[in-house]
Amino acid sequence: MKLKARHIIPTTAIALWAIACFVFFQYFYPYHFFYKEQNQLFLMSADWLQTYFDGAGWLARIAGDFLTQFYYYLYAGATILTLTLTLLCVTLWWTLKRWGLNTWGALVIALIVTTMEAVFHLSYDFPLSGTLSLLGWAVLTLTITLTKTKRKVTLALLAVSSLVLGAWLFGTPKIGKIGMPNWYLERQLSADCEYYFGNWDKVQQIVEQDKERTPEMLFFYYLVQAQRGLLPEKLLLFDRPELGTFYSIGPQTPILTIRNMNELYWALGDMTFTERAAMMTNVFSHNNRNVRMIRRLAECNYVSGDSLAAEKYLRILDKTFAYHQWADNLRTHGKDIYRTKIEMVNQRDTITISDNAHFLMMQLLDTNPKNTVALDYILCSTLLLKDIQGFKRDYDRYCMEHATPRLKTLYQEALCIWLAGTNASQEEWKKYIQRPDVLQKFQQYNEKRGSAAFKGTYWYYFDKIKAPKV
Amino acid sequence: MKRLLNILTLSIILALLVACTPTPKDVLMRDMLPPIYPDYCDVTIPVNIAPLNFLLRADCEAIEVKAGDVILHANGNEAVFDIDDWKDLTTQASGKSIKVTVTALIDGQWTQYMPFFWQVVTDKVDPYLTYRLIEPDYEIWNHVQIQQRCIENFETNAIGHYEQLENRCMNCHTYANQDPQLSMMYVRGPRGGAILNQNGQLSKLDIPGSVYFGFSPSGRYITYSTQKIIPAFHSLASKRLEVYDSESNVFVADMEQHRIIVSPLLSDSLKFETFPTFSPDGKYIYYCVADSVSLPKDIRQLQYSLVRIPFNEQTGTIGSQVDTIFNQRSVCHPRISPDGRFILYTVADYGTFPIWHPEADLQMMNLQTGRIDTLSIVNSQKSDTYHSWSSNSRWFVFASKRDDGLYGKPYFCYVDQNGKAHKPFCLPQEHPTFYDYNLKSFNAPELGKGKVPFDVDDVARAMQQEAKKFK
């Protein structure tokens, strides 16, 4: 009975620990895995693998990066991490028992160490190779303890050679940060990753249902709406809209902001700045490699017609497990997939020293006024700043001059402010305001200016909400 | 006995592997050159170059390469030569050409392509190449290295490494007369400076604002330019980045007396002076100069001419007469061959940063006759620039983006005794797929006669020194 307890209870404890670990990472913390997968590049190529041999711990690093590439798939991240940690726990438990600790002492220590390793993985930059390094050392130590020889010289030689071998194969185990889960980042990554996977309805659902939504989540929410032509409708749905159009990126900018800007430039259709942000993200990623941005570099060069550059990145993706089919698909069906983007590409060459989004969007619209994503972003950005003059200028230039007025409620409301503020003639009112319902509501608003009943209108925003600082 | 058994086992495995590699039969002849990468078809190579390993851009199951007497069979599409076989091959073919025939098994059919030739010349190229490895954006950096590669084999070592140098930016490593005993490189950032190597003794210099530089023949002086560099962006994605100077001037630094020699002709506020280099006899400073224009608006009017001004190495004085040598389009990076016969420079449509100009090409002027060679056999549809001569004036290396328009790679070009340039070849790598997966540009390649007598740790130690100030 006692013997049974000594086996069953520890096994059950480890199994329960593994289930808890899997459930936590899979159902409460899954998006960190996607970030880690995207933030590296692993190629099945002899010369690429050779780069791992430069430093100590090559086996742990190769195995870590190899396994991390599978985080791309649903459930894979939590499964791989749980299996690795469980294996670590079991190995530690056995090793400590071989060292003479009793079952329960060994179990407690093994569970504590493994839990600490699990906590390290709460951090978005802790690599799997860190845990594999520790696992490697644990396996090596266990192997030594299984040796039956009692000769001191043999044991000493074995210990020294194991130390050398361990240092060469596994390096020094990495110590991560002890801390609470980064829920802020997890929420941010949830919108980011679902957007990346093309699950735009889910982005919308996540953001609308989250009461503690972050600015970064809103950024992706608006990115979805803009590409669905619904940005003006949704702009004032939340208190602090986040469009990303007021950012400037540089070496000091956080990598996630640079990557978000890459998504914005791509959605707008500016391939120069898409490529720049992709390059920057790559440069500041783990080992200067980021598979998501390699994919983007292939895409943006394909769209801008630089087939040689696109092929450079497609060849890299050919050697990945998760993206080689994507690369094939781009080669075969790229023209159909990116038809609209190719049509929107900037055809005029101007030069600027600034990455001011307003200027970039003007350049895009000058080339192609039908670029509704850029149009809505430029108009909504000026409206957020309460720059009615700027809005009217852009609206005239890209809508009225092309005889394509964009009769969105938001724009009609903003135009009412401009028309009222400039004492415009009846003719001008007629020219701009083609929605009688808006005009009627504007008259009502003027009777109850600032009333919360008009929350969600641009007039209320203009009167009551603070504009973002630029 | 056990050892014998091991050898036997290994031999059996090797024999099985060889036996598994198919050999050509029922060969179909194709009337085209093989699509090999890098493009090593009909190139001229020095006798001391590392094996020209290549791959066939085809979905092939096996490959056979016959190069002179060497026959290579391999599964897959890669042709990788044994270095000893290669050395024998090039030594025996020195002064002659090697016929190379590629036969590949594609979709179950052996196909033989038209043969090509490697012209092996006895004029050696300087055996060491230094370059900076950096992402092609240049505007930002992370994990920059300056490496030194022995081009007679595949040995590479870092002489500037981000790990030892606090992830700082580093710039070009330049030799004096291709001599590894005298060279200089920059390490940027707080407490950064120019690291001068004199016979392996490193010292840190504070040469204010120095960017591009070159040594005088005696090594006592360097001429350098200072500039305020502005990055700008083209809206046309294919043009990408533009970099220009809002200010630039040329100076001479006396490395013995630690003083700066100034001339109003080289620091005219209405002109941009840049890319200075001494002539091999030390009597002139060649540099590029442009009239200042409103930037970035009038960038296309920014045209640099190639000019020279006398310099006296004995007295350390700059002359008073500027002669224009060439003023068509925009000239960058003049470099004179060590024998003084040729000046090699880049021409682009405008500006001072040819790296992102696809139209940027090399040109070579015969300084005795004034004849200009547009080097059509050397240039490509993408940027070809940043060149450096071998000490025997028979070879130059340059950075070309011909493969993908993004990542610069070193190409070597032979200039024969008649001044004729031959088709260049790319720096060979141990693995032919290296360039396909590499995500760094080989920036500012420089040839040297030998290995530099310092390493990364020496540079890191030199960085701790107090910089010598220049007056």
- Could you please report the per-residue DSSP string of B328-378? SSEEEEEEE-TTSSEEEEEEESSSS-GGG-TT-EEEEEETTT--EE--TTT
Picking from B139, B233, B431, the nearest residue to A352 by CB comes out as B233
CA distance A283 to chain B (A): 6
State whether residue A210 sits within 8 Å of chain B by CB: no
Kindly tell me if the per-residue pLDDT of B6 is higher than 60. Answer: no
Which residues of chain A from 37 to 56 reach within 8 Å of chain B, CB to CB? 43, 45-48, 50
Whether B240 sits inside 8 A of A345 (CB atoms) is: no
Return the pLDDT at A147. 81
Predicted confidence band at B20 (pLDDT cuts at 50, 70, 90)?
low
Return the pLDDT at A159. 86
Cis omega (within 30 of 0) for bond into A405: no
Optimal mutation site among A40, A249, A308, A351, interface B, most CBs of chain B within 10 A:
A351
Return the pLDDT at A89. 97
Return the pLDDT at A119. 98
Return the pLDDT at B117. 98
What whole-number distance in Å separates Cα of residue A361 and Cα of residue A377? 8
Q: Which residues contact A5 (CB under 8 A, 6 or more apart)?
A: none
Return the pLDDT at B16. 52
Whether B437 sits inside 8 A of A279 (CB atoms) is: no
Tokens of B397: 């290396």
- Tell me the residue length of chain B: 471
Whole-model pTM? Answer: 0.93
Contacts of residue A50 in chain B, CB cutoff 8 Å? 431
Picking from A280, A289, A316, the nearest residue to B140 by CB comes out as A280
Q: Which residues contact B96 (CB under 8 A, 6 or more apart)?
A: B120
Residue whose C-alpha is closest to residue B246's, from B305, B212, B295: B295
Return the pLDDT at B138. 63
Q: Catalogue the E-assigned strands of A276-356.
A: 351-352
In chain B, the percentage of residues whose pLDDT exceeds 70 is 96
The residue that leads in pLDDT, A247 or B165, is: A247
Return the pLDDT at B1. 47
Predicted confidence band at B2 (pLDDT cuts at 50, 70, 90)?
very low
Chain centroid, CA B217 distance in Å: 21
Contacts of residue A327 in chain B, CB cutoff 8 Å? none
Whether B404 sits inside 8 A of A308 (CB atoms) is: yes
The residue that leads in pLDDT, A469 or B63, is: B63
Tokens of A306: 């630089």
What whole-number distance in Å separates Cα of residue A431 and Cα of residue A369? 20
Kindly tell me if the per-residue pLDDT of B191 is higher than 50. Answer: yes
- Please report, to the nearest 10 degrees, the dihedral formed by the alpha carbons of residues A31, A32, A36, A39 taken in order: 70
CA distance B254 to chain A (A): 35
A391-407 pLDDT tens trace: 999 999 999 999 999 99
Return the pLDDT at B8. 53
A24-70 pLDDT tens trace: 999 999 999 999 999 999 999 988 898 898 888 999 999 999 999 99
Contacts of residue B135 in chain A, CB cutoff 8 Å? 279, 282-283, 288
Helix (H, G, I), strand (E, B) or coil at A448: coil
A274-311 pLDDT tens trace: 999 999 999 999 889 999 999 999 999 999 999 999 99
- Tell me the residue length of chain A: 470
Q: Is B156 left (phi over 0), alpha (psi -120 to 50) or beta?
A: beta
Picking from B137, B235, B405, the nearest residue to A348 by CB comes out as B235
In order, the DSSP letters of B293-317 are --TTTTGGG--PEEEEEEEETTTTE
Kindly give the pairing relationship between strand B468-469 and strand B201-206: parallel
Whether B137 sits inside 8 A of A271 (CB atoms) is: no
Cis omega (within 30 of 0) for bond into B231: no
Return the pLDDT at B144. 87
For chain B, what is the total number of helices (H) and then of strands (E)?
A: 4, 36
Give the Cα-Cα-Cα angle B75, B78, B84 (nearest 5 degrees).
100
Return the pLDDT at A47. 85
CA distance B137 to chain A (A): 7
Residue labelled with tokens 């240092």: A167
State whether residue A389 sits within 8 Å of chain B by CB: no
Q: Which residues contact B107 (CB under 8 A, 6 or more apart)?
A: B59
Q: Catalogue the E-assigned strands of B107-178.
A: 109-112, 116-121, 128-134, 145-150, 156-161, 170-176
> Which residue in chain A is spatially nearest to B232 when comparing CA positions?
A353
What whole-number distance in Å separates Cα of residue B126 and Cα of residue B388? 11
What whole-number distance in Å separates Cα of residue A204 and Cα of residue A210? 10
Contacts of residue A293 in chain B, CB cutoff 8 Å? none
B89-123 pLDDT tens trace: 999 999 999 999 999 999 999 999 999 999 999 99
Return the pLDDT at A239. 87
Return the pLDDT at B25. 86
The residue that leads in pLDDT, B209 or A135, is: A135
Optimal mutation site among A303, A312, A317, interface B, most CBs of chain B within 10 A:
A312
What whole-number distance in Å separates Cα of residue B235 and Cα of residue A345? 10
Largest CA distance in chain A: 105
Point out which residues pair with B346 in neighbouring strands.
B332, B362
Optimal mutation site among A39, A40, A44, A47, interface B, most CBs of chain B within 10 A:
A47
Picking from A45, A273, A300, the nearest residue to B433 by CB comes out as A45
A106-144 pLDDT tens trace: 999 999 999 999 999 999 999 999 999 999 999 999 988
Whether A315 sits inside 8 A of B436 (CB atoms) is: yes
Picking from B237, B296, B431, the nearest residue to A351 by CB comes out as B296
Alpha helices by DSSP H, B76-220: 83-92
Contacts of residue B140 in chain A, CB cutoff 8 Å? 250-251, 279-280, 283-284
Optimal mutation site among B353, B437, B438, B441, interface A, most CBs of chain A within 10 A:
B437
Which residues of chain A from 253 to 312 reach within 8 Å of chain B, CB to CB? 270-273, 275-276, 279-280, 282-284, 287-289, 300-301, 304-306, 308-309, 311-312
B286-333 pLDDT tens trace: 999 999 999 998 999 999 999 999 999 999 999 999 999 999 999 999
In order, the DSSP letters of B8-62 are HHHHHHHHHHHHHS----SPEE-SS---EES--TTEEEETTPPP--EEESS-EEE
In order, the DSSP letters of B370-436 are --EE--TTT--SS-EEEEEE-TTSSEEEEEE-TTTSSS-EEEEEEB-TTS-B---EEPP-SSTTHHH
Predicted confidence band at B279 (pLDDT cuts at 50, 70, 90)?
very high
Return the pLDDT at A50. 87
Mean of all residue pLDDT scores within chain A: 94
Mean of all residue pLDDT scores within chain B: 93
CA distance A316 to chain B (A): 6
Contacts of residue B430 in chain A, CB cutoff 8 Å? 47
A185-230 pLDDT tens trace: 999 999 999 999 999 999 999 999 999 999 999 999 999 999 999 9
Q: Which residues contact B443 (CB under 8 A, 6 or more apart)?
A: B131, B132, B133, B134, B138, B172, B386, B399, B408
